[in-house]
Structure 1
Amino acid sequence: MEEHKKRIIKAIAYIDNNLDADLSLEKMAGIAMYSSFHFHRIFKLITGETLQNYIIRKKTEKSAFYLAVKKDIELKELYLDLGFSNHSVFSKTFKKYYGISPTAFRNSAPETFHKILQIQSKNGQMDTVFSQYICSIENLLNCTKMNLKIEVKELPEMNLAAVMSLGIANVEPSYNILIDWAKKKKLFPRENVKMMSVYHDSFKVTPPDKVRIHACMLLDKNLEKQEGLVFPETIHAGKFIVGSGEVTLHDFEKCWVSLFLWMNEHHYSIRKAFPFEIYHTNFREHPEGKMIVDFCIPVH
């Protein structure tokens, strides 16, 4: 099963980086080195959904994320960049998934920072409900000022060892796999080791059981090739909004929402890269469960 997961991880990474490219069953099976028949079955076994459903979901969720955080992006630029053939196909797909048009979503989501909840309706269909976040915008801004030191800075390239997690429940097991690997390589424990989480999906647009998070460790040099379920990942140098503070696990969502709100208030725009967290201390070693964290958003 580990070998199957390794190949599917490769396919998923390709999909994520090439949403506008040929993502046919035959193409993806070739990348994962399976026959089309076996790839289809194994992909569904590991991810819980078919290749086609996964690709459509990723495209739609990615479009929702950028609609929420990039006010200046044109709809045509967005849907062509994500591989939708035309506006009609994009709008129909988006509305089927979120229940409203892309334009209505853009007008509702970013300014008020509503949290998207998908609930089961009486007829068995998924309805999208917008419920206001627990804090008002004013409180979120105050929360930011109190708990996070926010800076815009240039960060260097970071070479990571990563383990993919599909679903929030699988994050801790992914870290266990990473740490076991690091112990064998004598990379853990060591002084000033930095663990990180890279978010390849947003909880605002992706269900918690499908969100993709990479459990990562910062390395001194690049990992040359995939080793079992551990694979190399690079965060390229660039400009980031960095919110730093001592927080508990329960504060994480509020911190992220606050940071994205700060980004909009200061007229920054997110780059097409992934937000991440850097952990400087371990919450398990603090009597109140606190940890020092950097919350990082790539911007230009």
Structure 2
Amino acid sequence: MTEEYQKRINAVFEFIDTNLDNELSLEIVAQIACYSPFHFHRIFKMITNETLNQYIIRKKIEKAASLLLHKKELTITSIVHQLGFTSNAVFTRTFKNYYHQSPSNFKKTHLHKFSKISQIDSKNSQQMESYETYICNLMNLKNFTTMHAKIEIKELATQPYAYVTHIGVEGLEKAFQKIIQWCTPKQILENNRSKIIRVFHDSFKITNPDKVRMSIGVTLTETIAVNGDINIGHLQKGKYIVGRYELLIEDLEKAWTGLFIWMNENGYKKADYNPFEVYHNDFNKHPEKKAILDLYIPVEYYFN
């Protein structure tokens, strides 16, 4: 895979993310990548291990799952129309292929749950936690947040960042190394205002870990030229819940889950843009191997 291929596919990822409500034919998307439809189809599958159609359908269903979780005022019919499915029946059948239950049952089952939602194999069955176990886990996560997090609400201005794309949980360390190697000779991190970040374009709660797309990057304080598979993105302007943590990397999932619980219990609602992490140290150099970082959750509004 060449750097040029990855750069053009990054543009496609961004285009699809912002146009899931519109027509996304092979011809239209191939134009964004500046390839012929035939050539683009082959490159896209090589990079994502999915055909374009498979990728778009998965992203639509995952967006539907996110809307069911975070936009309880929306009806299933309105989601069907918004995402361009031909009928409720087609949407329900496709949704069941991913989550093995109907959209309405999914909404009832997972609306207040904090654990990951599994896209499980059809040969297996989902095991539901007992109520007692659920409450125990909930309390443990709330206690973890109380003990380890300093939480604030912040207004963030639009922030540019340089990044490399990474898909899945394998090989993450190499992605971090790559962005650090890129910015070291440019002395980007020496001004103390630029930070290493990880932006989540998918949610581990609704997307299989091997398909979660992330941007591993560094925030920028000035315009800078990029090349190869380094791209420029922008953190969205808006209001964020920010949790400051000092923890072991293996506790990151616990921290994220606890922060989302805090969001729900304090009346905030997730906005439709991407959460991210900001790193303040190299945890490998910490005496206890702990990362000092901020977790950012975008929020839409506050309600009583």
Q: Is the shorter-chain TM-score for this pair beyond 0.5, marking a shared fold?
A: yes
Is 1:67 paired with 2:68? yes
- CA change 1:78–1:61 in 2 (3 A) is same
TM-superposed CA distance for 1:70, in Å, is: 3.0
For residues 107-129 of structure 1, give each alpha carbon's deviation from its aligned partner in whole angstroms, at most 9, with x where no partner exists.
1113132322344455xxxx563
Contact 1:160–1:223 under 8 Å retained in 2: no
Output the amino acid matched with 2:292: I
1:247 — aligned with what? 247
CA distance in 2, matches of 1:84, 1:121: 23
- What's the C-alpha RMSD, in Å, of the aligned pairs? 2.1
Q: 1:288 to 1:49 in 2, by over 3 A?
A: same
Residues 130 and 110 of structure 1: CA distance in aligned 2, closer, same or farther (over 3 Å): farther
SS of the residue 2:270 aligns to:
coil
Structure 1 spans left out of the alignment, 5+ residues: none
Superposed, 1:223-262 pairs within 5 Å as 223=224, 227-262=227-262
Residue number in structure 2 paired with 1:129: 126
The Cα shift of 1:158 comes to 1.3
1:85 Cα offset (Å): 3.4
Q: 1:216 to 1:172 in 2, by over 3 A?
A: same
Equivalences for residues 173-192 of structure 1 within 5 A: 173-192=174-193
**Partner of 1:266 in structure 2?**
266
* Cα deviation, residue 255, structure 1: 1.0
> Could you tell me how far apart the structure 2 residues matched to 1:128 and 1:182 are?
46
Which range is displaced more, 80-89 or 9-18? 80-89
2: distance between equivalents of 1:104 and 1:32? Answer: 38
Is the CA contact (8 Å cut-off) linking 2:161 and 2:220 kept in structure 1?
A: yes
- 1:79–1:264 Cα change, 3 Å: farther
Aligned to 2:38: 37
Q: 1:150: which partner in 2?
A: 151
State the shift of 1:153 in Å. Answer: 2.0
What aligned pairs does 1:1-300 form with structure 2 within 5 A after superposition? 1-120=2-121, 122=123, 127=124, 129=126, 131-132=128-129, 136-223=137-224, 227-300=227-300
Count of aligned positions = 295
Q: Contact conserved, 2:69 with 2:107, CA < 8 A, in 1?
A: yes
2:168 is aligned with what amino acid?
G
TM-score by length of 2: 0.90
Contact 2:159/2:235 (8 A) holds in 1:
yes
Contact 2:195 2:218 survives alignment (8 Å)? yes
Q: 1:235 to 1:160 in 2, by over 3 A?
A: same
Q: Distance in 2 between matches of 1:107 and 1:170?
A: 36
SS of the equivalent of 1:30 reads helix
> Structure 2 vs 1, CA of residues 56 and 241 (structure 1 numbering), >3 Å: closer, same or farther?
same
1:11-50 deviation per Cα after TM superposition (whole angstroms, max 9, x unaligned)? 1111111111221111111111111111111111111010
Cα distance change, pair 95–209 in 1 and its aligned pair in 2 (3 A)? same
Deviates more, 1:54-63 or 1:179-188: 179-188
Residues 53-87 of structure 1, C-alpha deviation per residue, up to 9 Å, x if partnerless?
Answer: 00011111122123223333332333333333332
Q: Which amino acid aligns with 1:50?
A: T
AA aligned to 2:85 is F
Residue range with higher mean Cα deviation, 102-111 or 169-178: 169-178
| Distance of 2:217 and 2:275 partners within structure 1 | 13
Structure 2 unmatched runs, 5+: none
Quote the offset at 1:105 in angstroms: 0.9
Look up the SS of the partner of 2:184 in the other structure. Answer: helix
The CA distance in 2 between the partners of 1:185 and 1:128, in whole Å, is: 52
Q: Is the 8 A contact 1:222 1:232 kept in 2?
A: no
Q: Following TM superposition, by how much is the alpha carbon of 1:275 offset from its aligned partner in structure 2, in angstroms?
A: 0.5
